[in-house]
A and B are shown apart, each in its own frame.
Chain A
């Protein structure tokens, strides 16, 4: 009896001791130290510390898993429930809970098919909500004073963008907001950057993007929060994710999609050389216009000159004078003609009168005898013997006495 109890006492362990013991056993199995597990993510929680807590499951079993921040930051996709993954890590025991679990060092998506499905589903959902509507697209400013760039501070994308912006249009200042472009926290950091530019109105146009990579690398730009931040932005956004063939949800939500980061830089600013050339054109256009106007004015001046008024200001006066002359002349003519007519008819009248006048008869040798009281003596009875009378002859009167 006693020995049995002794034995039992010897074998008795505290919970902590047991858990530690089991942990040591498991940790010592080489196969469990470097293991790849295939399964679907469930119960996924990304803690504010950056650690990811989740379970991996298949049809009939489940294992708890944890990914610490240092490893999680190297992920090129955001773990989510339902995504099938291959997780590399080791099995160990969490002594406090007596739980063995998978400590994940690295994880990749098992089967791109699921990502494509997620992509299509999100695209449809956001499209139905109107996030891609053409009427919501904002026009890019023609001459942005400040270009905001949301991308990784290192790598080809930022280099290309800066190169093109400085070469094309040194007029625009550039403000870079460095962000993570892949990994668990990428989407959130991109959203923060877009919100920053909007809050402080820190740019006239934004380039949001990154260089090329696998679909997992680009995944942050397929995240719903990024698409919504782009849609909400008051500042026009050009998306520039990966290569020409890569389309992301961000591209659909952006005001303009550029096939590459360099292309985005070309889209947001005009070419300085072309602008200066344009100014030279304007210069000659101005001169041409001015010459045209001078020519036009000269033409209308010539037109006026050709009119006599200007060429010979007296012409009009002369004309008037001539008209007056001609009027005077016709008036003269008319008057003398009238006079002549009158004279003629006067002559006729006179000769007619002449015929009637006794003077005419007298001129032919007849004479008129008148009494002293100037009565023409027509009959013998008109006078008595001894009366003084006068006889009118052509050149005078003869006084006589009736016998």
Chain B
């Protein structure tokens, strides 16, 4: 699982945790476990965003195969 999938999954989980906590109908033990999990998840999500490295690629026709392939995009000056 790469970090991008991780983010989505963590975010979904976090939403679930908040929902359950906000409903309030849980035992103290469950609550503590959920709280701990929620705090961990917010940190994970924030870190994933902070450390995300954006790839900017452009599709270029390969000289050998004639197929399109991804290459890093370098903006051309006009």
- A residues in contact (CB < 8 Å) with B: 143, 145, 153-155, 158-159, 162, 165-166, 170-178, 196, 272, 275-276, 279-280, 282-283, 285-287, 289-290, 292-294, 296-297
One of B4, B26, B53, B75 near A162 (C-beta < 8 A): B75
Given A154-B78, A293-B31, A294-B28; A174-B56 close (CB under 8 Å): yes
Asked whether, in the complex, the Cβ of A172 is within 8 Å of the Cβ of B54, the reply is yes
In the complex the two chains form, what is the Cα distance from A290 to B30 in whole Å?
Answer: 11
Closest 7 CB pairs of A and B: A289-B21, A171-B52, A170-B54, A173-B55, A290-B35, A176-B58, A286-B38
One of B28, B49, B57 near A171 (C-beta < 8 A): B49
In the complex the two chains form, what is the Cα distance from A158 to B78 in whole Å?
Answer: 12
- Say whether chain A's binding surface is mostly helix, strand, loop, or mixed: helix
**Nearest A residue (CB) for B52:** A171
Collect the chain B residues with CB atoms within 8 Å of residue A275's CB. 45, 49
Collect the chain B residues with CB atoms within 8 Å of residue A170's CB. 49, 52-54
Collect the chain B residues with CB atoms within 8 Å of residue A143's CB. 7-8, 11
In the complex the two chains form, what is the Cα distance from A327 to B38 in whole Å?
Answer: 60
Asked whether, in the complex, the Cβ of B24 is within 8 Å of the Cβ of A289, the reply is yes
Smallest beta-carbon distance B59→chain A, Å: 5
**Nearest B residue (CB) for A171:** B52
Smallest beta-carbon distance B1→chain A, Å: 12
**Nearest A residue (CB) for B77:** A154
**B64 close to chain A: CB less than 8 A:** no
- Say whether chain B's binding surface is mostly helix, strand, loop, or mixed: helix
Asked whether, in the complex, the Cβ of A154 is within 8 Å of the Cβ of B76, the reply is yes
Given A286-B17, A292-B24; A159-B75 close (CB under 8 Å): yes
One of A177, A178, A290 near B21 (C-beta < 8 A): A290
* Chain B 26-75 residues near chain A, CB threshold 8 A: 26, 28, 31-32, 35, 38-39, 42, 45-46, 48-50, 52-59, 68, 70, 73, 75
Collect the chain A residues with CB atoms within 8 Å of residue B4's CB. 145, 171
Asked whether, in the complex, the Cβ of A173 is within 8 Å of the Cβ of B18, the reply is no
Asked whether, in the complex, the Cβ of B39 is within 8 Å of the Cβ of A174, the reply is no
Smallest beta-carbon distance A205→chain B, Å: 14
**Nearest A residue (CB) for B5:** A145
Given A143-B7, A143-B8, A176-B73; A286-B55 close (CB under 8 Å): no
Asked whether, in the complex, the Cβ of A282 is within 8 Å of the Cβ of B42, the reply is yes
Collect the chain A residues with CB atoms within 8 Å of residue B57's CB. 173-176
Asked whether, in the complex, the Cβ of A153 is within 8 Å of the Cβ of B26, the reply is no
19 new A-B contacts, CB < 8 A, other than A177-B59, A290-B31, are: A153-B76, A154-B78, A158-B75, A159-B75, A162-B75, A166-B56, A170-B49, A170-B53, A171-B52, A173-B56, A174-B55, A174-B57, A176-B56, A276-B49, A286-B18, A286-B38, A289-B18, A289-B22, A297-B28
In the complex the two chains form, what is the Cα distance from A162 to B70 in whole Å?
Answer: 16
**Can you show 26 pairs from A to B with CB atoms below 8 A apart?**
A155-B78, A166-B56, A170-B52, A171-B48, A171-B54, A173-B57, A174-B55, A175-B57, A175-B59, A176-B56, A176-B57, A177-B59, A177-B68, A196-B68, A272-B49, A275-B45, A276-B46, A276-B50, A279-B46, A282-B38, A286-B21, A289-B24, A290-B21, A290-B31, A290-B32, A293-B28
Collect the chain B residues with CB atoms within 8 Å of residue A155's CB. 78
Collect the chain B residues with CB atoms within 8 Å of residue A290's CB. 21, 31-32, 35
Given A170-B54, A272-B49; A286-B59 close (CB under 8 Å): no
Smallest beta-carbon distance B9→chain A, Å: 11
In the complex the two chains form, what is the Cα distance from A309 to B55 in whole Å?
Answer: 66
Smallest beta-carbon distance B76→chain A, Å: 5
Collect the chain A residues with CB atoms within 8 Å of residue B18's CB. 282, 285-286, 289
Collect the chain B residues with CB atoms within 8 Å of residue A294's CB. 28, 31
In the complex the two chains form, what is the Cα distance from A292 to B24 in whole Å?
Answer: 8
In the complex the two chains form, what is the Cα distance from A294 to B22 in whole Å?
Answer: 13
Smallest beta-carbon distance A291→chain B, Å: 10
Asked whether, in the complex, the Cβ of B56 is within 8 Å of the Cβ of A162, the reply is yes
Collect the chain B residues with CB atoms within 8 Å of residue A287's CB. 35
In the complex the two chains form, what is the Cα distance from A344 to B48 in whole Å?
Answer: 100
